[in-house]
Structure 1
Amino acid sequence: MSMDNRNTSALFKRAEQLKRWEESETNKHSGTPKSPSMRRIKFSSGCIFLAACVAGDKDEVSRLLETGADIDTANVDGLTALHQACIDDNLDMVEFLVQNGADVNRKDNEGWTPLHATSSCGFLSIARYLIESGADLASINSDGELALDLACSDAMEDLIQRHIDEQGIDCEDARQAEEKIMLNDAKRWLRSDSTDCDKPHPKTGATACHVAAAKGYGKVLALLLDGRGDFDKQDVDGWTPLHAAAYWGQKEAVQMLLNANVDIDVQNYSGQYAIDIAQKDIVPLLDEARKNNLKRPKRRPASQIRYGGGMRITDTIENSIETPTKVIRVEVKPIDSKEKEEVPEKEN
């Protein structure tokens, strides 16, 4: 990402955050006494805690923590008090929150850690403090970006790069970590009787197929399509994997889904078909698929699902991962050792 694009992205995100803050209940909350009729309105403890942090009232924050407030409570965008203190360039509050146990690696809804936010805003003192406090330099956001990728100045980039070098972090490995985890999990699912590959995320309703389609993880998607899942499943917004692939411009994933004969006539909960939200270069693919929507088996094996260039997925599944990441709305985590033991493998 170029420096100009980074700055534009960071400024746009900051503007959006400020707009949401201005419209939020937290910002509108006031200590001014209300009339008896208005006193019936009660703010959540999380809302009050975030407001106290933004106001810089450490005495009130301490009191709330003593009464059980969660220091990592987040607003509707997943921003914690630590995120907000970083965005506001409030080093004093950042130090106070971290010293009281705030998670320096907590992610917001877009996968941004406090260090991502700080890097994009260019606050060197806070970035230095977060790194010294254990901020994960290898953490990626939902766009597959490291904090390094969002650095808005040469000084910030130099600071983060120096610590990356000191810690021996491989940036490309970090950016591809999610895809590698999913690829290994997909292989395990195919060898087992587990139905986890079709299990939706409890908050977003997205399945592994949604993730792979939206991010263009072709090798992962091929294995999932060869499995036992429902690949027309809708998330909480009514999006199918085809909607996700079309919206985020994953042409290869769209073609794979079409070859697997997914339903192109599913509407999301806003009444939109995949073609209605698709990137321009995806529209002809979907338009042609609609014209040639002949009856055929619901799903075809991965050996028949081909990339645009005609290469079989099963011939290339072990190749190195080169696909860049895109936005997605679900966090993917590796299966822990206990869960792995519970997944039976089929006998050869």
Structure 2
Amino acid sequence: MSQDARSSSAPFKRAEQLKRWEESETNRESSALDGKTRKIKFPPGCVFLAACASGDKEEVLRLLKKGADIDTTNVDGLSALHQACIDDNLDMVEFLVEHGADVNKGDNEGWTPLHATASCGFMSIAKYLIEHGANVAAVNNDGELPVDIAESDEMEDMLQQQIDDRGIDADDARNEEERLMLSDAKNWLINGVEEKLHPKTGATALHVAAAKGYIKVMDLLLQAGANVDMQDFDGWTPLHAAAHWGQREACEILVEHICDLDMKNCVVSYELLFFQFL
């Protein structure tokens, strides 16, 4: 990755921001009452990610001993391991994995560290991750395996060889989530729907099915009584999700089931999204 691209990463920016503050005249000269110097306070997760991004292993170890979560993420769901992969920092990748980082953790878009590495074309890191348990059949939110987004022919060939050696059916892997959701939906149709919320996002199965255009799953969930207007933690309904991801048929199905067209999420009204697809 280029220096410009690396400098635009969130953890790198936080590290630079913290460094600039500590070296600033404002920090050195500012005084609080009782003669105490005021210090800016960053959230623990930001401090940990910044330490990892700057390669300060001693600080990372100190933070881990104090209880820092090695798999903590930024707002995009990127862990320190994701970022080390993006930055082509094999040394930090090895350090994090050796200290227990989850090699298969997905970000907000379902990208694992191997997805990130494959998309950047970093062969050494990809091989290391695979040797330490990275799942070559992991699927992101767009239904893509790492091999599907490989940056180079060399990366694609290596990942495809791993898939072949393991006897993995790539098409089955890409469709596994929809099959599992279809099975659950059939069960809910018989026994009643379970509106389980995702612990991080508050999304329901109907949100996921609508966003990904799993039409058969949607039909079963709606027959089972799924709440068509359930809002996640950001106020998104299944209709917001379907509209945002361009799933026209999913939008039509939700409208047919009398979803509330006037509901707004915490950011933007639904109409701005939906009518792009009419």
Category of TM-score, reference length = shorter chain: 0.7 to 0.9
1:29 aligns with 2:28: no
Q: SS of the counterpart of 1:266?
A: coil
Deviation (angstroms), 1:100: 1.5
Is 1:199 the equivalent of 2:196?
A: yes
1:276 lines up with 2:266 in the alignment: no
1:65-107 CA distance string (max 9 Å, x none): 2333222122222211111111111111111111121111111
| Preserved CA contact (<8 Å) 2:11 2:49 | no
Amino acid at match of 1:267: K
Q: 1:229 to 1:68 in 2, by over 3 A?
A: same
Q: What pairs up with 1:234-245 in 2 under 5 angstroms?
A: 234-245=231-242
Alignment partner, residue 8 of structure 2 = 18
Residues 41-56 of structure 1: matches in 2 within 5 Å?
Answer: 41-56=40-55
Q: Does 1:66 align with 2:55?
A: no
User: 2:94 maps to what in 1?
Assistant: 95
Matching residue's letter, 1:45: P
> Paired residue for 2:210, among 205, 209, 213?
213
Shift of 1:228: 2.0
**Cα drift, residue 205 of structure 1:** 2.5
Q: TM-score, normalised by structure 1?
A: 0.70
Q: Which residue of 2 aligns with 1:133?
A: 132
Q: Which moved more, 1:109-118 or 1:236-245?
A: 236-245
Cα separation, 2, equivalents of 1:167 and 1:106: 21
My pick for the range that moved more, 149-158 or 241-250, is 241-250
Shift of 1:262: 2.1
Is contact 2:11-2:46 (8 Å) kept? Answer: no
1:158-177, aligned counterparts within 5 Å? Answer: 158-177=157-176
- Determine whether 1:253 maps to 2:250: yes
Change (3 A) 1:54 1:272: same
Look up the match of 1:305: none
Q: Separation in 2 of the partners of 1:16 and 1:95?
A: 19
Amino acid paired to 2:47: I
Per-residue deviation at 1:144? 1.3
Contact 1:248 1:279 in 2 (8 A): no
Which stretch of the first structure deviates more once superposed, 207-216 or 33-42? Answer: 33-42
Cα distance, 1:232 vs structure 2: 1.5
Letter in 2 for 1:200: L
CA distance in 2, matches of 1:111, 1:15: 21
Read off the aligned partner of 2:95 and give its amino acid letter: F
- Which 5+ residue runs of structure 2 have no aligned equivalent? none
Taking every aligned residue pair, what percent have the same amino acid on both sides? 58
Q: Is the 8 A contact 1:248 1:278 kept in 2?
A: no
Task: Spell out the pairing of 1:328-347 with structure 2 (5 A cutoff).
Answer: none
Distance 2:142 2:275 in 1: 17
Measured against aligned partners, the alpha-carbon deviations of 1:105-159 in whole angstroms (never above 9, x if no partner) come to: 1111111111111111111111111111110011111111111111010011011
Describe the SS at the equivalent of 2:38. Answer: helix
TM superposition outliers: structure 1 runs of 4+ over 4 Å: 14-17
Secondary structure of the corresponding residue to residue 8 of structure 2: helix
- In structure 1, the residue matched to 2:225 is 228
Structure 2 CA distance for partners of 1:227 and 1:15, relative to 1, 3 Å: farther
Matches of 2:245 and 2:212, distance apart in 1: 8
Distance 2:216 2:181 in 1: 10
Structure with the bigger percentage of helix:
2
Does the 8 A contact of 2:197 with 2:204 survive in 1?
Answer: yes
Equivalent pair of 2:198/2:204 in contact (CA under 8 Å)? yes
Amino acid at match of 1:18: S
Residue 224 of structure 2: SS of its match in structure 1?
coil
Structure 1: stretches of 5+ with no match in the other structure? 1-9, 284-348
Does the alignment pair 1:267 with 2:264?
A: yes
Q: Residue 139 of structure 2 aligns to which amino acid in structure 1?
A: I
CA offset at residue 242 of structure 1?
1.9
Pick closer, same or farther for the CA change 1:189–1:51 going to 2, 3 Å. Answer: same
1:249 and 1:279 in contact (8 A); partners too = no
* Displacement of 1:165: 0.8
Aligned CA distance change for structure 1 residues 39 and 168 (closer, same or farther; 3 Å): farther
Higher relative contact order, structure no. (Cα contacts within 8 Å, ≥ 6 residues apart):
1
Q: Which residue matches 1:330?
A: none
